[in-house]
Amino acid sequence: MQKIIILDFGSQTTQLIARRVRELDTFCEVLPYNRYPEDDTDVIGVILSGSPYSVHDPESFRLDLNAFLGRKPVLGICYGAQLMAHVLGGTVEKTDTREYGRAILQTVVSDELTKGIHEGGQVWMSHGDTITSLPAGFRLLASTESVRFAAYRSEAQPLWGVQFHPEAVHSEIGPQLLRNFVVGICGSRQEWSAASFVSQTVSELQSQLGQDRVILGLSGGVDSTVAAVLLHKAIGDRLTCIFVDHGMLRLNEFADVMRDYHSLGLNVIGVDASERFFKDLEGITDPEQKRKIIGRDFVEVFNAEAAKVKDAHWLAQGTIYPDRIESLNITGKTIKSHHNVGGLPKDMRLQLCEPLRWLFKDEVRRVGRELGVPEHLIGRHPFPGPGLAVRILGDITREKVHILQQADAIFIRHLREAGLYDKIWQAGAVLLSTVRSVGVMGDERTYENPVALRAVTSTDAMTADFYPIPYEVLAKVSNEIINKVKGVNRVCYDISSKPPATIEWE
Ligand code: XMP
């Protein structure tokens, strides 16, 4: 399949470039700057990302342009544009002020890259250095008030550079420019779609897996569900799914999700292991220790069930692309480690199968729809592996979990009724069971726990902001929780952003 290679020089927006290319129904892969593939038959174009470095820094990332120069169309973005200008004989100089924010194109020269883009178009700048002269045989394509060479091209080679960030949302002309490059210049057939992904992946899985049996851990979340349905389409009942109930899921979630899985035709073993989890968590108050115990127990329960599946060769997981992208930070280390892998049953020697490994979250949802996964499963908010355990301060008991489940269910129902659920990235209630406050109900004094409500917007959970739920909705939620949930006499709304807070309380 045709693909665009994005070489990453450590910019924070590299993933965003990849998303934009995918939005053009074109497959793309993000690779570290020095890992251009040896076999590039399917590569139709190369994009060089920005970087926290200046081309003059001795430790800045260098690249052998000869690997693709002249053979594949290249678009350099910010540092990528400066690097090509610098290496090919132009001049890049340090400027005193770092230019950041919106800028307006003043001159636009007609070209394949600037088709449909005019003077007055808004772009987004974020750079310290600037290109002050172009290599011989290059020409200027666009300027802004403060940047002369805001866009350029080579006359002799299929090579373009832009100083601004077309991938940023505030670059209004960005989508057009990227379309011009990906579709116009590189000739993408725009064949990357949910339907093409499904048919291609199903046939790949069939040839990869043959007659082998596969085990998959279901969590109720969208990624593992879509992975399961895709695998089921490929190998039918040779896929065995295991869904472990650790007792800290949402109200009725285990039964509801099991019913959904059965109606999708999946072969699922549901394991109620809650007793063991509650016993092992008894008296444990430290958040990290709670997580460790749940993680350990989960792996042991899962492995014990998996061992019962005879002749299994593969362990499938719902790992998605952002979990795997090796984004570089300035020290060359990965920013985020992959937390899906771990707990592979060692003695079972299972091979790993990750059918969603190329997809972004929104693409997983599109594929899920294509496969007929019901909307209420596709649109579900993310939910942490340790479940409500990270939403109960202090030790965990069945009683506390039950109190929180009821409060959480009321909150989520009101969000749905108010049409807010789909506008929110993630929401839930938190039981502040280490805090007690005085209240009055009827003629009686109460001394009970508060519940905090949390609802955030986010795109990747790395940063988040609280969602401005209207007061009327908050009032209804608070009223119903205090009236119906025994043990709770106060409701607060968490209005912190991440950072400095986190989404979960523990
Ligand atoms: P924080 O609280 O770090 O959460 O802002 C970011 C995202 O990760 C989820 N989360 C977890 N998921 N195991 C998981 O599988 C965990 O231990 C865990 N802790 C947090 C959280 O729900 C949010 O989506």
- Whether 502 is in the pocket of ligand 1, judged by its Cβ within 6 Å, is yes
- Examine the pLDDT at 249 and tell me if it is beyond 50: yes
- Which residue's CA is the closest to the ligand 1 atom numbered 3? 502
Q: How confident is the model at residue 211 (pLDDT cuts 50, 70, 90)?
A: very high
CA Rg, the chain, in Å?
Answer: 26
Q: Report residue 211 as tokens.
A: 């007659």
Query: Using an 8 Å Cβ cutoff, are 505 and 453 in contact?
Result: no
Cα distances (angstroms) measured from residue 410 to each of 10, 422, 485: 43, 16, 9
- Rounded to whole angstroms, the Cα distance separating 315 from 309 reads 11
Q: What is the mean pLDDT of residues 451-470?
A: 92
Q: What is the pLDDT of residues 253-296, one digit of tens each?
A: 999 999 999 999 999 999 999 999 999 999 999 999 999 999 99
Q: How buried is 290 (Cβ within 10 angstroms: 0-12 exposed, 13-18 middle, 19+ buried)?
A: buried
pLDDT at 347 over 90: no
Please name every residue paired with 312 in a beta bridge, in sequence order, or none if there are none. Answer: 213
Cα torsion 378, 379, 384, 387: sign: negative
Least confident range from 96-105, 218-227, 439-448: namely 96-105
Can you tell me the distance from the alpha carbon of 232 to that of 236, in angstroms, rounded to the nearest whole number?
4
Tell me which residue has its CA closest to atom 15 in ligand 1. Answer: 385
How many CB atoms neighbour CB 52 within 10 A? 16
Residue to probe by mutation, ligand 1, list 219, 249, 503, most atoms within 8 Å of CB? 503
Residues 163-199 have pLDDT tens digits of: 999 999 889 999 999 999 999 999 999 999 999 999 9
User: What is the SS3 string spanning 259-273?
Assistant: HHHHHCCCCEEEEEC
The protein residue whose alpha carbon is closest to atom 12 in ligand 1 is: 384
Helix, strand or coil, per DSSP, at residue 269: strand
> Active-site residue among 86, 165, 246, 414?
165
305 part of the active site? no
Q: Please determine, for residue 396, whether its predicted confidence score (pLDDT) is greater than 50.
A: yes
Helices in 38-100 by DSSP H: which ranges? 79-87
Q: Which residue in the list 167, 305, 354, 448 is annotated as catalytic?
A: 167
For tokens 């089921």, the residue is 232
Residue 505 alpha carbon, nearest atom of ligand 1: 2
What single string gives the DSSP state of each residue in 443-454? TEEEEEEEEEEE
**Interval 133-159: pLDDT, tens:** 999 999 999 999 889 999 999 999 999
pLDDT value at position 465? 94
Give distance in angstroms: CA of 504 to centre of ligand 1: 6
Using the atom order of ligand 1, give the atom closest to the CA of residue 291.
17
Tokens of 221: 């979340």
Query: Does the beta carbon of 461 lie inside 6 Å of ligand 1?
Result: yes
pLDDT at 66 over 50: yes
Q: Give residue 121 CA to ligand 1 midpoint distance, Å.
A: 39
Find the range with the poorest average confidence among 51-60, 307-316, 353-362, 422-431: 51-60
Written as six digits, the tokens of 390 are 């990270």
Name beta bridge partners: 161.
76, 152
- Full-model pTM: 0.84
The first and second tokens of residue 446, run together, are 């109460």
Instruction: Report d(CA 298, CA 310) in Å as an integer.
Output: 20
- Yes or no: say if 190 and 26 are a contact pair by the CB < 8 Å rule: yes
**Confidence band, pLDDT 50/70/90 cuts, at residue 344:** low
CA separation for the pair 181, 73 (Å, rounded): 8
Cis amide leading into 135 (omega within 30):
no
Confirm or reject: Cβ of 468 under 6 Å from ligand 1. Answer: no
Question: Which protein residue's CA is at the shortest distance from atom 9 of ligand 1?
Answer: 384
**Ligand 1 atom 6: the closest Cα is on which residue?**
461
Position in ligand 1 atom list of the atom nearest CA 382: 24
Q: Which residue puts its alpha carbon closest to atom 18 of ligand 1? A: 384
- Sheet of strand 351-353: strand arrangement: 268-272, 239-245, 213-218, 312-316, 351-353
pLDDT-derived band at 331 (thresholds 50, 70, 90) equals very low
Q: Is residue 259 helix, strand or coil?
A: helix
pLDDT at 338: 39
Confirm whether 480 is a catalytic residue: no
- Could you give the CA distance from residue 81 to residue 125 in angstroms, rounded to a whole number? 13
165 is catalytic: yes
- The mean predicted confidence, pLDDT, of the chain is 92
How many Cβ atoms from other residues are within 10 Å of residue 436's Cβ? 14
Average pLDDT over residues 337-357: 67
Q: 382 CB less than 6 Å from ligand 1?
A: yes
Selecting among 28, 29, 78, 172, the annotated active-site residue is 78
- Verify whether ligand 1 is closer than 6 Å to residue 494 (CB atom): no
